[in-house]
Amino acid sequence: LLEQVWGFEYIDDIDYLRVYIWHLRRKIEPDPKNPVYLHNELSLGYRFDPA
């Protein structure tokens, strides 16, 4: 996701993605600490589940 959205220069700094996902969760999740829509897939990244 970092590479596709921000380009190669951000590939080593994953904090950008974590902060962005946190802000996105605060906007769309009923409870951001227990996400329903944005899931973290270990070793893969994030997955959106429109459930």
pLDDT score for 32: 96
Q: Note the pLDDT of residue 37.
A: 96
Going 42 to 46 to 33 to 11, the CA torsion angle's sign is positive
Structure confidence at residue 43 (pLDDT): 82
CA dist 37 and 8 (Å) reads 27
Express each pLDDT in 1-51 by its tens digit.
666 776 666 656 667 788 889 999 999 999 999 999 999 998 888 899 997
Q: For the whole prediction, is pTM greater than 0.75?
A: no
* Token output for 51: 């459930």
Residue ranges and CATH numbers for the domains of the chain are: 2-48 (1.10.10.10)
Partners of 41 in the beta sheet?
45
| 29 and 35 Cβ atoms separated by less than 8 Å | yes
What confidence score (pLDDT) does residue 30 get?
Answer: 96
Q: Is 1 strand, coil or helix? A: coil
**Where are the strands (E) in the chain, listed by range?**
38-41, 45-48
